[in-house]
Amino acid sequence: MNYEAIVIGSSAGGLSALKSIIYNLPGNFSTPIIITQHVSSLSESYMAVFLNQLSQLVIKEADAGEKIKPGHVYIAPPNFHLLIEEDFTLNLTVDEKVNYSRPSIDILFETAALAFKRKLIGIILTGANNDGSNGIKQIKHFGGHTIAQLPASAEVPIMPQSAIDTGCVDKILSLEEITGYIISICH
């Protein structure tokens, strides 16, 4: 399968988990990655800067109207939902919170599933609520590939366990296994 994008959702403990994944991706990893990490609406936009220092890929905060490019990692800005349009551009909204969150993982995953259909990989990492579970179901519905972090390896296991409980997760992997796995299925 030729996957065209990866979406990742994380919450409590997510920065550490994302660091582990991003740090280990090679500079020639071309599949774009779009991330929603739950952050406070008052947070500074530090995550892209921090992760960019650890990676050979281009890591940036998403801009509305931006075309998704290979070799790039896009991060939802604080207090904005990140959506993927059917023309493979990014969009930002300040619509109501979903699962008490803005940005919401479900919104990213659901819009990505509509755009990329079976050429999408969705990954749920550590977190303390069930955001992303509906999105995982949507990705699976459109034939995409779904991954959840092994709850025992998550700093907070509630979110990956909630995704697993949907019955729509294809692979359950420890944090250390996720990077190698996505490299193997994307190259």
Residues belonging to the active site: 11, 38, 131
Can you say whether residue 100 is alpha, beta or left, with left for phi > 0 and alpha for psi between -120 and 50 degrees?
left
Helix 14-23 with 175-186: angle, nearest 10 deg: 40
